Structure 1
Amino acid sequence: MMKIWVLLLLVSVASAQTNCPLARTLKAAGMDGFNGVSLAHWVCMAFAESSYDTQATHFNPSDGSTDYGIFQINSRYWCSDGKFPGKKECPFTCNQLFSLQNSIACAKIVVQKRTMTAWDGWKAKCRGQNVSKYIAGCGV
C-alpha cells in the first residue's frame, strides 16, 4: 500500500512540474513578450486549453471543427485537416500541430492576427488574472 502512495505522490509532483519544461521551451522560442504577451500568459493558456498535452484534440460539434495540440489551434481557420477548404493561416496540417515547435510557430501567427482573445481558455482562465504561478520556480 505504501508503494502505491509513493507512486501517486511522484506522479502528482511530476505532473505539477510540466509547466517548467514548457516555460523554458517557450522562452527559448522567443515567446516571452512576443506580441506583448508574457511567458506566464502563454503557459497559463496552454494549461487552460490542453493541460499541457501536445497530443490533445477537441471536436467542436457546433461547427464540426477540431482543435489540435497544446494550444488547441482550430482547423476551421488555422490548420488543414481536409474538412474545411480554403487557405489556412498556418503552414501546417492540423496533425503537424502535435509537434510543440509547429504549435509555437502557428500560435505566433494566431496571436499576431487575433491576439490572445482567439483562445477561449485564455479568456476564461488567464485574462485579468495573476498568472505568475504558472512560471513560479521555473527559473525563467
Structure 2
Amino acid sequence: MKTASILALIGCLVTVTESRIYTRCKLAKIFSRASLDNYGGFSLGNWICMAYYESHYNTTAQTVLDDGSIDYGIFQINSFTWCRQAQTQEKNHCHVACSALITDDLTDAIICAKKIVKETEGMNYWQGWKKHCEGRDMSEWKRGCEVS
C-alpha cells in the first residue's frame, strides 16, 4: 500500500511537456496581439515566416548546437546568450529560464525575441529568416488569417 501511494505521488509530480505545434493563422493572431507587426520595422509576415523556418511553429523545439548550447522554442532562442539553463551560467540577456521558452504560453519567447531584434541586427539573428524570408514578399504568411 505504501509503495502504491509513493508511486501515485511521483506520478503527480512528474510533468510531461507535450509539443504544441501552432497553425500559421493562430500564430498570426498571437503575434498580432503581442504587437509584433512592424516591431523593429519587420512586418507580421516576417515574424510568421521566421517562426516557421526556425521551429515549424513547434513550441517545444530544441536544437543542440556544436558549441554545446541549445536553441529553444518557437523562435529557437540560444541558451548561451539569451536564456539560462539550470545547470550553467550563461549570459541570460533576456533574464529568463530557457525552460520558459518551450511552453505553449509564448509571452516570454515573444519578449525575448523583441529584445533580440532591438539589441542585435534586427532579424539577422535568425538564419532561417535570412535564408528564406529576408527580402521576399511576406503578405502570403498572414493571408486568410483575419489579422490586419
* Distance across 1 between alignment mates of 2:74 and 2:23: 12
* Distance across 2 between alignment mates of 1:120 and 1:84: 25
Name the structure where helix makes up a greater proportion of residues: 1
Question: Does the alignment pair 1:51 with 2:56?
Answer: yes
Which runs of 4 or more aligned residues in structure 1 lie more than 3 Å from their structure 2 counterparts after TM superposition? Answer: none
Question: Does the alignment pair 1:67 with 2:71?
Answer: yes
Question: Does the alignment pair 1:102 with 2:108?
Answer: yes
Alpha-carbon shift at residue 129 of structure 1 (Å): 1.4
Alpha-carbon shift at residue 101 of structure 1 (Å): 1.2
Q: Which amino acid aligns with 1:120?
A: Q
Counting matched residue pairs gives 124
* Distance across 2 between alignment mates of 1:89 and 1:103: 13
Q: 8 Å contact 1:76–1:84 — kept in the other structure?
A: no
CA deviation string 1:40-72 (max 9, x = no partner): 000000001000001100010x21110000000
Task: Give runs of aligned pairs for residues 1-140 of structure 1, distance below 5 A.
Answer: 18-60=23-65, 62-82=66-86, 84-99=88-103, 100-114=106-120, 115-140=122-147
Alignment gaps of 5+ in structure 2:
1-20
Alpha-carbon shift at residue 85 of structure 1 (Å): 2.4
The TM-score with structure 2 as length reference comes to 0.79
Q: Which amino acid aligns with 2:62?
A: T
Q: 8 Å contact 2:37–2:44 — kept in the other structure?
A: yes
Task: Indicate the structure (1 or 2) with the bigger Cα radius of gyration.
Answer: 2
The TM-score with structure 1 as length reference comes to 0.83
Q: 8 Å contact 2:45–2:139 — kept in the other structure?
A: yes
Between the aligned residues of both structures, percent identity stands at: 43
The change in CA–CA distance for 1:95 and 1:86 in structure 2 (over 3 A counts) is: closer
Alpha-carbon shift at residue 35 of structure 1 (Å): 1.1
